[in-house]
Chain A
Amino acid sequence: DTEVTQTPKHLVMGMTNKKSLKCEQHMGHRAMYWYKQKAKKPPELMFVYSYEKLSINESVPSRFSPECPNSSLLNLHLHALQPEDSALYLCASSWDRRGDYGYTFGSGTRLTVV
């Protein structure tokens, strides 16, 4: 298995809703990442988990809450989002902190906040 699987593929949520994005990989990677990508822009790093511990938070608003239940799973909990948070949310994984051999990205969750 050489994939990062993200669910759901599409999500529409209201500004008062609570929802979660899920990411799963079974490649034995020990680092996992959340990125946000707006249209026609490159991905922007949000969070990094290394060996199931949060190692980087790129000053992301608290309405985004990451969670790493185990080495294969990564969640992103969403609450009280704003319309400007609408974007493609990408999960990625790599062998270790240095991203040896590159990063594997999932296909993303396209989030629309209404």
Chain B
Amino acid sequence: QKEVEQDPGPLSVPEGAIVSLNCTYSNSAFQYFMWYRQYSRKGPELLMYTYSSGNKEDGRFTAQVDKSSKYISLFIRDSQPSDSATYLCAMERAAGNKLTFGGGTRVLVKP
């Protein structure tokens, strides 16, 4: 069993819809949680960073962390075709220095 599980998709939604992404993890030592967006043949781009349970909002993006359930989510409101990309969740122990990634979810937003 992988430490971090993420549905590979693809997830296809119409423009303007809410995109809902999630990851589950098994190691309770993970304390810091991140979401990255990666376009084809580019490096990952940090979207959200959080270290506590609850919600964090930044523009169209909302990240949720539920440490008791070992479950994190990312919601993208008013999705645009430019949001079409692979979304990677990543997490890190308190000791730091090593990200553990989910496998990535490919998202396609259709005009």
Q: Assuming A102-B34, A107-B42, is B104 touching A42 (CB within 8 A)?
A: yes
**Closest chain B CB from A57 CB (angstroms):** 12
A 14-62 contacts with B by CB, 8 A: 31, 40-43, 45, 48, 50, 55-56
Interface of B is mostly: loop
Residues of A within 8 Å of B41, CB to CB, are 88, 108, 110
Cβ A55 vs Cβ B97 within 8 A: yes
A48 to B98, CA, bound (A): 8
B7 to chain A, nearest CB (A): 13
Chain B nearest Cβ from A106, distance in angstroms: 5
Indicate if the CB atoms of B99 and A45 lie closer than 8 Å.
yes
Across-interface contacts of A88 in B (CB, < 8 A): 41
Interface size class of A (residues with CB under 8 A): 20 to 34
| 72-91 of chain B: CB within 8 A of chain A | 88
Stretch at the interface among A63-71, A72-80, A93-101: A93-101
Distance in Å: Cβ of B48 to nearest Cβ of chain A: 8
Q: Are A50 and B97 in contact (CB under 8 A)?
A: yes
> Told that A42-B104, A90-B43, A108-B42 touch, could you supply 16 new A-B pairs with CB distance under 8 A?
A6-B43, A42-B103, A43-B88, A43-B99, A43-B101, A96-B96, A98-B94, A98-B95, A98-B96, A99-B97, A103-B46, A103-B99, A105-B45, A106-B43, A107-B42, A110-B41
By Cβ-Cβ distance, the 5 closest A-B pairs, closest first, are A98-B96, A42-B101, A105-B43, A102-B49, A102-B46
